[in-house]
Structure 1
Amino acid sequence: MPLAEIPLCVWRTRGQTFQFHGQSIRYWVAGQGEPLLLIHGFPTASWDWHYLWQPLAQRYRVIACDMLGFGDSGKPLNHEYSLLEQADLQQALLAHLGVEQPLHVLAHDYGDSVAQELLARHYERRIELASCVFLNGGLFPETHRPLLAQKLLLSPLGWMFGRAFSRDALVKSFRQIFGPNTRPSESEMDDFWRLVESHHGPRIMHKLISYIPERRVHRDRWVSAMQQDEVPLRVIDGEVDPISGAHMVARYRQLIPNPDTVLLPGIGHYPQIEAPVEVLKHYLKFREHWVSRPRQLAYS
């Protein structure tokens, strides 16, 4: 049975706001139980999780925000965006909500890098993670295959390309990265674009794209954290994603001990949008498996 979507107009009414470094951050909370943090990707926002939101909220306390520079959150023009700051933002949101229990994380794309930073901080005893699941993302810089649009944003003329970025450019990019039979409808593209253009988003896209070289800087620390055996990990990956599909999972299996991976045939870069039922099934199986296994605590 397909999962019910939450229209963007409804999703927006359910959000709340808190302040982070002088900027308004939109966030969403639902459900009760163990905290589950959802971290979205580039260039979209937390609405990416709307198919999974209600089913997950029936089981967990689900938390998500539009990160700084994304969606309906603040998008300051004169700001140097950083994955490390986005990890700080997630921790600030958890503190704002009074979350003190061990944290479960489900992340996608850009959010994978933020989750990797949180995982590294877990081993530095700066946060306690209970589990982490990655959807399609550049977990390893050596396997990441950026789109032409991303390369242009990284170029010296990136600021010009970003300001000219349009709905048509977003559609063209999404056609390349979604599965051949799971591309978003025109209505969905309208909503994705509304979130990108909110608060004049295109004018900072060349700043947000700095996450790609930043991944290379932190690569060894992040991979080392994934190679530890304390926090249960799983990758659920759309196989035909040209950016971080089957080739990324192959590298994960080479580098990560006892790799737990799921490939979704025919699915592209946005499995939570393209195949939410499958993602939910594999996520819940992961959680059920680790519930029955005693977990080693970071703080003993």
Structure 2
Amino acid sequence: MNQLTFDNYQKHADFSELCDHRIAHWQSLNFHQDPNKDVILFIHGFPSAAWDWHFQWKHLAGQYRLLSLDLLGFGLSDKPTEHQYSLLEQADIVQALLSKLGVKQYHILAHDYGDSVAQELLSRQEAIDNAAKIQSICFLNGGLFASHHRPLFTQKLLKSRFGGLASHFMNKASLSRGFNKIFAANSQPNTHEIDTLWQLLEHNNGKRVLPKLLSYLDERKQHGKRWVESMISTLVPLYFINGVHDPISGQHMLDYYIDIIPHPRTTALDVGHYPQLEAPEKVLSLYQTFLTEIKG
């Protein structure tokens, strides 16, 4: 499988000032040429970047108009040190980008931290009349329900009063060990993936902001009830693709989703926390089928 290098990822990035921050984003080549094609917005997880979606992007670019971004504090986007990071601000940034590009309706494909941003966007749509309408959401592994999210010890350490010290001593080897734990045994990350994810994390001295980004764990508890109520009541088609061997949000998260979401549409995969990297072809196929079926 051809994989996107850090240099090419950086080379094709556009940058916009959104909510007072310089945000990296990407559009497919047909984005402004085919206004009748549906838009798919990719929202990445912690601690990576929109790079995670490179396989799905390559294969969906002909059928759809594609849009992705590195959220504030991630990848190539600004990483202000003295900043109170918030999932709500990330949703503001997404909405500002959609508005800038004139997007009126869109599908969301989200993972991990991005799931929470998608939940906030859905909740806003259910409460007020936004300009851009969500047509569907496909969630990959993430803390959809705060009560069932199981953060790693490393995440707890980074979030603690020792977070600054822990992030200072973090290196590519420790990142690799962490990813090995959350990928399934039969779909471990390769050297290229670890190298690229480390470059994206370290870019613009990004290690410094990791402890501050982890405030999202508290925000999930704070806003979780509102988000889940929106998921239960919405008419927007929802789909959950879950890597069941994920210690953070695997089978236990999927079971709870099935318990509380009306008429749940789900698929269990024999992988870990990063289905889009561990089983890229399968995620692509499942997502294409979902989009085809909801269009009728």
Query: TM exceeds 0.5?
Result: yes
CA RMSD of aligned residues (A): 1.1
Letter in 2 for 1:119: L
Bigger shift: 120-129 or 227-236? 120-129
For residues 11 and 156 of structure 1, the distance between their equivalents in structure 2, rounded to whole angstroms, comes to: 34
User: Residue 58 of structure 1 aligns with which residue?
Assistant: 62
The one-letter amino acid of 1:290's match is I
Deviation at 1:214, TM superposition (A): 0.7
Structure 1 residue 117 corresponds to structure 2 residue 120: yes
Assess if the C-alpha contact under 8 Å between 2:19 and 2:92 holds in 1.
no
Residues 1:142 and 2:126 aligned together: no
Which residue of the other structure, out of 225, 238, 243, is the alignment partner of 2:243? 238
Instruction: Tell whether the 8 Å contact from 1:27 to 1:66 is kept in structure 2 after alignment.
Output: yes
- What is the percent sequence identity of the aligned residues? 45
What pairs up with 1:76-115 in 2 under 5 angstroms?
76-100=80-104, 102-115=105-118
Q: Which amino acid aligns with 2:115?
A: D
Match of 1:219 among 211, 215, 224: 224
Q: How does 1:147-296 map to 2 (within 5 A)?
A: 147-265=152-270, 267-292=271-296
Deviation (angstroms), 1:23:
2.0
Runs of 4+ deviating beyond 6 Å? none
Aligned pair count reads: 288
Conservation of the 8 A alpha-carbon contact between 1:23 and 1:74: yes
8 Å Cα contact 2:86-2:216 kept in structure 1:
yes
Instruction: Indicate the residue corresponding to 2:44 in structure 1.
Output: 40
> Does structure 2 retain, via aligned residues, the 8 Å contact 1:164–1:202?
no
Aligned residue type for 1:73: S
Question: What corresponds to 2:75 in structure 1?
Answer: 71
SS at match of 1:227: helix
- Give a deviation string over 1:40-69, Cα, whole Å, max 9, x none: 000000000011111111111110000000
The residue number in structure 2 matching 1:28 is 26
Please name the residue that 1:295 is paired with.
Answer: none
Structure 1: gaps (5+ residues) = 293-300
* TM-score normalised according to structure 1 size: 0.94
Secondary structure (helix, strand or coil) at the match of 2:125 reads: helix
Equivalence for 1:296: none
Structure 2: which 5+ runs fail to align? none
Distance 1:276 1:186 in 2: 17
Deviation at 1:17, TM superposition (A): 0.5
Q: What is the CA distance between 1:132 and its match in structure 2?
A: 0.4
Deviation by residue 1:37-96 (Cα, 9 ceiling, x = unmatched): 000000000000011111111111110000000001100001000000000010111111
- CA shift for structure 1 position 229: 3.9
User: Do the aligned partners of 1:105 and 1:115 also contact (CA within 8 Å) in 2?
Assistant: yes
1:181, CA displacement in angstroms?
1.7
Match of 1:83, as an amino acid? Answer: L
Which shows bigger deviation, 219-228 or 124-133?
Answer: 124-133
The letter of the residue matching 1:257 is P
Deviation at 1:20, TM superposition (A): 1.9
**TM-score between both structures, scaled by the size of structure 2:** 0.95
Query: Matched residues in 1 for 2:263 and 2:269: separation?
Result: 19
How much does 1:12 deviate?
A: 1.6
